[in-house]
Amino acid sequence: MMVGDGLIKELARLLRGGIEREPKGLLPLIELHRTDFATPPATGVRATWLGHSTVLVELDGATLLLDPVWTERASPFRHLGPKRFHPPPLPLAELPKLDAVVISHDHYDHLDRDTVPVLAATGVPIVTSLGVGERLERWGVAAAQITELDWHESTTIAGVRITATPARHFSGRGVLDRNWSLWSSWVLAGPRHRVFFSGDTSLYDGLADIGRAHGPFDLDLMKIGAYSEAWPDVHMTPEEALRAHAMLGGPAMLATHWGTFNLAFHAWNEPPERLVRATREHDVQVIVPVPGQQVEPTRPPELRAWWRDVGPRRA
């Protein structure tokens, strides 16, 4: 399908009405503080979804922060562009001590200019895709803190081997820098446990190769939102995310990349609804946490449609 055909279909669907692209009220939220991370996960793995693709991963004693975005808008503009549906459940100042920050690529909803310098000021190592480091240096991040990786390259920090793996997506923050830097999915491999982070990708056969080369994974952090018929080759639908999870071969999947910013034509709560429907046809452990919910994959919370519990907005 041509992008133009897909765009026309999506716009026609919007014009028919009935698509709630932003929640009308407040989303449930679990407010966190540094003390909530004082006790290590009993199982060795814990993931805390902080909204969109921002996930705090505790893995075999190491603490890694993925695609940290605390800004109000996923946009180059302060007062325009997609605005948060909910505040970050963990204030930036309340983050526990980090061993590494991993940034998948340079899009605004994954690389936040307001957040990265704050994290860099702590001296934390930053691992990212090839070419992104040049931008970080322009923002004042010390070159010694940055590790850029090409696909299939790895670095080890705090006992965790961090590997950049292929993804089917694109990069760029403006009209003149498209694909100047790389985009990646990621494998986080500790001494005992492994986590896969999809970053941004569409469904493609190479995910099975990643599973064979680096799996099995204890947890797949898998994107389920911001899909469209207008861009079928860069993002996954919820059903495709389940297929990707099956290709990777892990027992548990945690849904990311939805519920925080309005980045597509679908309803804001459509991704988890479609995901839940699709899981009824598969024997798979799917986790859809409330923002701020701490999850250990071998002790998963009950799957509850919390996104239907939208409260009234404050005056």
Which pLDDT score, from 0 to 100, does residue 5 have? 58
Helix, strand, coil tally for the chain in percent (to 5) = 20, 20, 55
CA 78 – CA 71 distance, rounded (Å): 9
Q: What is the pTM of this model?
A: 0.93
Which fold, 3-21+43-294? Metallo-beta-lactamase; Chain A (3.60.15)
Higher pLDDT, 255 or 175: 255
Is residue 17 pLDDT above 70, yes or no?
no
Is residue 267 pLDDT above 70, yes or no?
yes
CA 231 – CA 303 distance, rounded (Å): 29
Q: What is the pLDDT of residues 157-193, one digit of tens each?
A: 999 999 999 999 999 998 888 889 999 999 999 999 9
Which pLDDT band holds residue 283 (cuts at 50, 70, 90)?
confident
Q: Where are the domains of the chain?
A: 3-21+43-294
Q: String of b and e for 138-148 (b: at least 16 CB within 10 Å)?
A: eeebeeebbbb
In the chain, % of residues over pLDDT 90: 84
